[in-house]
Structure 1
């Protein structure tokens, strides 16, 4: 297996939000009520399909315009229910000729989700809806979640030189509860130690889900990493409420060649729609 990762990987992984991610969060920030109902679902969306920009329509309304690879949006507080979504090329005039859908997404009350648009192991665009664990974490510990959403074979994840996760395949995840602190992480082909991604320092905070996404394509040499956090699982009752999430860092390739036409796409961005924010969508120019 050829090992490829972008220069400055370690610095990028520990940096703050990229400008593109900030734009996505600004677009969705404030769409949910300041105090979400306890029976709302919490949904974040990560776009992990390289080279593909899309529009998302919910109930035939443009909800997100020009959503770009490497961006994270949310979390959104959505009333439990089913939302009908269509995915189009970024320049579509409306949702009358969707490339994907319309599809229905059912969200359950009180659950926390991340919807991920990504490449399958076969390099075809696909989608996975992950449920984020918001159960209490023991004092002094954090939850490390690794999600394989890249067009690449199964991998091992090494933490501080030792295999911590073995034979993780796309689109699976593996979860570890470990002492809070910083680990040196490497992603390697199963049974090997040569890095496919990394090494990189990953900070695992107390009472927090630190969710690491390996995304992109090994063959196209644009493998990348994004880190999401979901806070508030402290055993201390004064912890931050669960459902707070965001893109902590990304390692996006500097040169992403378009791999897919706008009409081939992203089943999972569908979770963005809701009556909560359809009335606040920005008008298409």
Structure 2
């Protein structure tokens, strides 16, 4: 039976993004970096610390947060077990996450091929696609050997290894996607229906563990990549990728600034309300 893939996002992250849209000053796309985050470590609900401050609480496997518009810079990130007292004993990190203005990133916490928790920073491709086409990006971030990706039953990507990716330009439409061990056609994930929309780059992540039988797919998209110069600018709906996978590059950043901004705004609002009632 086919499954329809959907984007996962924590309610807290979604609320932070909505609030950020109303609080953050408007900035041109070239002045900020965009960051989204995937939690792809099965069975481990985590806390995320940025510069030793708790910034994301109880982040669950399969969740995706972002994109956030962030000032360029380097952030130190540590990922701990949920409700850890501090960042002194991280499950992943601490690592430095460098972000450049005008670029689009995805930070993925996941398992390496041997099943050890790690993190990879992907630089996302937001280049234009041809009219009538979409872009499909497949990223292997699962504890599994090399895999083949099947599209409508035919092998479309071969020998993809963790933590690499492959990119296809396809006519817009819905395809049946499945992941199989390299050289076989028996799916270990899927099949699942994936909508390759015109002017959109769709990213499919294979995450989880083959040994533990909890392999899964996560999907996000970036829209507005039409070659038509009058089309909507890219970067408001998620991710897309180039073939980059950096060792020892960490998960999540900038959420600290978002949450601190939200708290500050709430305090100011409460003070103003208190004064108005007097």
Structure 1: 5+ residue stretches without partners:
1-7, 248-265
With the length of structure 2 as denominator, give the TM-score of the two structures.
0.83
Which residue of 199, 208, 212 maps to 1:216?
208
- Alignment of 1:225 onto 2:214: no
Q: Matched residue of 1:245: which SS?
A: coil
Q: Which residue of 2 aligns with 1:77?
A: 69
Q: Which residue of 1 aligns with 2:124?
A: 132
Q: Using the alignment, how far apart are the partners of 1:100 and 1:11 within structure 2?
A: 31
Residues 179-194 of structure 1 aligned to structure 2 (within 5 Å) = 179-194=171-186
Higher helix share: 2
Mean CA deviation greater in 234-243 or 141-150: 234-243
Mean CA deviation greater in 192-201 or 210-219: 192-201
Q: Quick one: structure 1 residues 97 and 201, their matched pair in 2 at CA, closer, same or farther if it must change by over 3 Å?
A: closer
Superposed CA offset, 1:144-197 (max 9, x none):
000011111111111122211011011110001111111111211111111111
Query: Between Structure 1 and Structure 2, how many residues are aligned?
Result: 254
Q: Which residue of 2 aligns with 1:235?
A: 227
- Alignment of 1:155 onto 2:144: no
Report the Cα offset of residue 98 of structure 1: 4.1
Residues 104-143 of structure 1 aligned to structure 2 (within 5 Å) = 104-143=96-135
Report the Cα offset of residue 95 of structure 1: 3.2
Q: Matched residue of 1:84: which SS?
A: strand
With the length of structure 1 as denominator, give the TM-score of the two structures.
0.81
Bigger RCO (CA 8 Å, 6+ sep): 1
Q: Quick one: structure 1 residues 65 and 281, their matched pair in 2 at CA, closer, same or farther if it must change by over 3 Å?
A: farther
- Alignment of 1:31 onto 2:20: yes
Q: Using the alignment, how far apart are the partners of 2:128 and 2:7 within structure 1?
A: 27
Superposed CA offset, 1:212-243 (max 9, x none):
00110111011101111011211122323211
- Alignment of 1:268 onto 2:250: yes
Contact 2:121 2:251 in 1 (8 A): no
Which residue of 43, 68, 84 maps to 1:51?
43
Structure 2: 5+ residue stretches without partners:
240-247, 267-278
Q: Using the alignment, how far apart are the partners of 1:99 and 1:127 within structure 2?
A: 11
Q: Which residue of 2 aligns with 1:261?
A: none
Q: Using the alignment, how far apart are the partners of 1:144 and 1:99 within structure 2?
A: 31
Q: Matched residue of 2:220: which SS?
A: strand
Tell which structure's C-alpha radius of gyration is larger. Answer: 2
- Alignment of 1:280 onto 2:255: no
Contact 2:106 2:121 in 1 (8 A): yes
Q: Using the alignment, how far apart are the partners of 1:164 and 1:102 within structure 2?
A: 37
Q: Quick one: structure 1 residues 100 and 155, their matched pair in 2 at CA, closer, same or farther if it must change by over 3 Å?
A: closer
Q: Using the alignment, how far apart are the partners of 2:87 and 2:35 within structure 1?
A: 22
Q: Using the alignment, how far apart are the partners of 2:37 and 2:130 within structure 1?
A: 27
Runs of 4+ with >6 A deviation: none
Q: Aligned Cα RMSD in Å?
A: 2.4
Q: Which residue of 2 aligns with 1:206?
A: 198
Report the Cα offset of residue 104 of structure 1: 1.9
Q: Which residue of 2 aligns with 1:102?
A: 94
Report the Cα offset of residue 44 of structure 1: 0.2
